[in-house]
Amino acid sequence: MEPTDQIIVALDCDNRAAADAIVERLGDECRFYKVGLELLTAVGPDVIEHLVAQGKEVFLDLKLFEIPNSVAGAVRAAGALGVSMVTVHSMGGVGIMAAAVDAARDFPHLRVLALTVVTSMSDGDLADIGVGGSTQEQVRRLAQLAAKAGCHGVIASPQDAAAVRSALGADALIVTPGVALPGESPGEHARSGTPRAAITAGATHIVVGRSVTRAPDPAAALRLVRADLGS
């Protein structure tokens, strides 16, 4: 996979104008964008349709965690919008994940990815909610559950990518948020890593946000990310 295909830029914006400005400034430098709950709630699904109409791929990060029927309906809606990836929460169990996978079958290009443990959580955070063991143990457990449910891959931190690849084998998609360039602050991510480290560990895609979107020159920043992948 070429570095250009491995980079997903997160449109973590609260208005349409800001999102459109980022896409315009990146132009042909970027072909894959993440739309999350903030942007979707603020402006609605039209932003997704607009990206797809421009030939962009969309990773719709919904982290679905509901009864199976509701999850299936949301996945079908995502497929109808033309998105390439949609997320479901692995903590919902096999029933919820399997419902998402089944709903995606009518959309050949739609991939269902299971969120394992969000990158802002540490071992202590898991203990607070009654989950024993380390974050890496929990990520591996949930990744294997996602595979059992038929998910196409998982969302995991750069630090968990190697263990997930070992658990899931060569074919699974592994998308890693919490990525920052060398020397940059990881921000709110407790388990971060560089682009190169994530891909070397087994990730298929990395998600970059402020490193690119808040840079004075987003296109130049994206080229730095691509260079780190190729170094």
Q: Could you give the CA distance from residue 29 to residue 50 in angstroms, rounded to a whole number?
A: 17
Q: What is the pLDDT of residue 181?
A: 82
Q: What is the pLDDT of residue 185?
A: 66
Token pair of 140, please? 């591996």
Q: Could you give the CA distance from residue 193 to residue 204 in angstroms, rounded to a whole number?
A: 14
Q: What is the pLDDT of residue 231?
A: 54
**Which regions of the chain are under pLDDT 70?**
185-187, 189-190, 231
Q: What is the pLDDT of residue 192?
A: 76
Token pair of 27, please? 């132009």
Q: What is the pLDDT of residue 146?
A: 97
Phi, psi of 9 (to 5 degrees): -95, 125
Active site residues: 63
Q: What is the pLDDT of residue 187?
A: 67
Give the domain ranges of the chain: 3-230
Q: What is the pLDDT of residue 75?
A: 98
Q: What is the pLDDT of residue 122?
A: 87
Phi, psi of 151 (to 5 degrees): -60, 150
Q: Could you give the CA distance from residue 110 to residue 93 in angstroms, rounded to a whole number?
A: 20
Q: What is the pLDDT of residue 177?
A: 93
CA distances from 27 to 24, 56, 99, 101 (A): 5, 10, 36, 32
As a CATH number, domain 3-230 is 3.20.20.70
Q: Could you give the CA distance from residue 101 to residue 153 in angstroms, rounded to a whole number?
A: 11
Whole-model pTM: value is 0.94
